[in-house]
Structure 1
């Protein structure tokens, strides 16, 4: 019985001829060789080749010089030992110089030239941004100044209109209340020999009167041109001596009659030019001061006070009334 127990069970799946562990069978060897052949036959990509080259280069640079090499033996004769620096200086280089591989086919120095041009482009772009910001600030400042000039021009016009109106009111009051004698402030409507004199008008609002007279002159000229039967021949002199002034004006024979009452519009007014050469703010300030001193009127309060002290007025400037 014991002998039968020692015999192998013929039903077991254990085979004596099974390959031992670690030994490659022919099938395994054929599969391995097929895989290796396929791997060798496959063309490597450029990235894979570059990665392998980089890895091999880094491995070579990381490997110390072998003492059995001819180069190491030559340096050892001059006193070099593994780990020492090259040269006599203690702070000399111990590690090899890092390689910067050139992958393209461009010439030497082209990369540095590109970097220089790129740096110049960046600097130019930064300057352009700064210039644009400065121009934006200048533009806003210029627009602000233009708007301020327009506002001051409107304020000056209103102040001149107010001054002219107050003079006319005082002129009318003086005529109604007592025998009127024109003063230096009441000469805006004075006539000399039946003709208007611009020089007699206060310089502070003389421009208003001059512009009004120029518009009136232009209007009369247009009316004369439209109404005249022979406006295209203004120099024609009629032989008829019986024509009166109205007939001559209607027929265009006497064009000088239009400007009889505007005699000095064509004359140069140096005083007015000098006044208008001043900044708008200064001209406005002069008109405001005149209104306060001559008429007790505050232009910013829009009120005429009863006394020269202008009690209740916060000040003479516009900022005082903010």
Structure 2
């Protein structure tokens, strides 16, 4: 037999007349409650908790509209102000109160702005110094690269001058007109005249050192030839009968050479360019290929400079 829809569902029944808790708290409950409240009041709140409560109270106050029972609201209502309207005759004023920035330190008014200004100046100074240091570092690296480049160009210049001089001497021997060993410096091509002048200076220095060592022997008295006059004895005793050894001082290397001075005054890269051009035009020779080409087009050579051969 099916149950009727009107039958009660005993599983979901609610007894409204069920007994409830005591209407009044007992003495034990009251004592426990008072003990908890006393402990809560006696506990010292931390600074963070006090600041949090003050912030919450301030935000709640700012979020609460001015009640109509407020005396100030009543005065503004007489001039037509309504809740939610903006201030001013043209209603262009503020609708929300000005935010409050609580000052929680003991510094004077304006000190925070001064700190911000100093901090901003320090930041700008640090940024300026960092940029300057970066620029100086870049300049220093550029100077190092330039010095390295000039040093490499100096080595290439010396190699190019040696090669040009060798090819010139080789051509002169093939023609049967070799260059004299004591050729004046001004008659040597200015492109490699520096090498010839350096060799002449080294030769002169060696000769002077040799003459300086031999000069000690020249000061010692020696026997004069028997057929000399009697006056020679006094010359011998004084060491004045010997010929002087310092002949290199009379034939010193020519100091004045305006053409060479002008050439040496040029930057090393420009001097190198002149010598390389001479080698290519005169002998069809590339210093970096190390090869003398058969024709003027120098087919196969990538270029004149070291960068072209890299």
TM-score range, shorter chain: 0.7 to 0.9
Assess, with a 3 A threshold, how the Cα gap between structure 1 residues 226 and 52 changes in structure 2: closer, same or farther.
farther
SS in 1 for 2:248: helix
Q: Runs (4+) of structure 1 moved beyond 6 Å?
A: none
Query: 2:266: which partner in 1?
Result: 278
Partners of 1:19 and 1:25 within 8 A in 2: no
Match of 1:203 in 2: 190
Following superposition, the deviation at residue 155 of structure 1 comes to 0.8
Task: Report how far residue 152 of structure 1 moved.
Answer: 1.0
CA distance in 2: counterparts of 1:116 and 1:292, whole angstroms: 67
Q: Please, which moves more after superposition, 197-206 or 309-318?
A: 309-318
Match of 2:73 in 1: 72
Measured after TM superposition, the shift of residue 153 of structure 1 is 0.8
Aligned residues: 273
For each residue in 1:3-62, what CA deviation from the matched residue of structure 2 results, as whole angstroms up to 9, or x when unmatched?
A: xxxxxxxxxxxxxxx995232111111111111111111211111111121122122222
Per the TM alignment, residue 103 of structure 1 is displaced from its structure 2 partner at its CA by: 0.5
> Which residue of structure 1 aligns with residue 216 of structure 2?
229
Distance 1:79 1:305 in 2: 105
1:127 aligned partner: 128
> Aligned equivalents of 1:25 and 1:216: distance in 2?
127
Contact 1:301 1:313 survives alignment (8 Å): no
Stretches of structure 2 lacking an aligned partner (at least 5 in a row): 1-18, 219-236
What is the SS of the residue equivalent to 2:253? helix
- Distance verdict in 2 for CA 1:174–1:122, change over 3 Å: same
* Residue in structure 2 matched with residue 37 of structure 1 by the alignment: 38
Q: Which residue of 1 aligns with 2:200?
A: 213
Which string of whole-angstrom CA distances, capped at 9 and with x for unpartnered residues, describes residues 133-176 of structure 1? 3333333322222111111111110010111112222333344x
Q: What's the counterpart of residue 8 of structure 1?
A: none
Coordinate RMSD, CA, aligned: 2.9
CA distance in 1, matches of 2:264, 2:23: 113
* Counterparts of residues 183-194 of structure 1 (less than 5 Å): 186=179, 189=180, 191=182
2:15 maps to none
Q: CA deviation at 1:260?
A: 4.0
Q: What corresponds to 2:119 in structure 1?
A: 118
For residues 145-294 of structure 1, the aligned pairs below 5 Å read: 145-175=146-176, 180=177, 186=179, 189=180, 191=182, 197-225=184-212, 228-229=215-216, 239-243=238-242, 245=243, 248-249=244-245, 255=246, 257-261=247-251, 263-265=252-254, 267-294=255-282
TM-score normalised per structure 2 = 0.77
Relative to structure 1, the CA distance from residue 39 to residue 321 in structure 2 (aligned partners, 3 Å threshold; closer, same or farther) is: closer
219-228 vs 76-85, greater mean Cα deviation:
219-228
Higher mean displacement: 49-58 or 154-163 = 49-58
